[in-house]
């Protein structure tokens, strides 16, 4: 097997297993109360970590670039209660513009 196919196979199987962890092992079983409270915080915590890594994340470094203009424009749109597609488009436009002028 070539190196490329080995990577595709291992990464594919690992990812399928990660995504199946909760649905296959737990399903709609009721979780103990303390565990449920921990799981309930997964959404805000992981979303927050995704915002940070997608905005300033690089390979072993913080990268401050045009993405910050996108996050800023998105924050303004969110504060103005714009619908989600408008937030996404405003962020993309601001990022593209900032990249043009820098």
Binding to other proteins (CB under 8 A): which residues in 22-41? 22-31, 34, 36-41
Q: Is 87 left (phi over 0), alpha (psi -120 to 50) or beta?
A: alpha
Quick one: tokens of 65? 């670039």
Question: Contacting other proteins (CB under 8 A), which of 32, 44, 64, 101?
Answer: 44
Helix, strand, coil proportions of the chain in percent (round to 5)? 75, 0, 20
Question: Contacting other proteins (CB under 8 A), which of 32, 64, 84, 101?
Answer: 84
Number of residues that bind other proteins (CB under 8 A): 82
Question: Contacting other proteins (CB under 8 A), which of 45, 80, 101, 102?
Answer: 45
């Amino acid at each position: 097997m070539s190196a490329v196919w080995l990577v595709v196979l291992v990464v594919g199987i690992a990812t399928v297993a990660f995504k199946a962890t909760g649905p296959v092992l737990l399903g709609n079983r009721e979780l103990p109360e303390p565990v449920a409270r921990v799981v309930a915080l997964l959404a805000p915590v992981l979303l927050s970590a995704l915002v940070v890594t997608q905005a300033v994340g690089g390979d072993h470094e913080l990268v401050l670039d045009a993405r910050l203009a996108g996050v800023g424009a998105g924050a303004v749109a969110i504060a103005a209660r714009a619908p989600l597609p408008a937030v996404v488009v405003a962020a993309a436009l601001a990022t593209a513009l900032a990249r043009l002028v820098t």
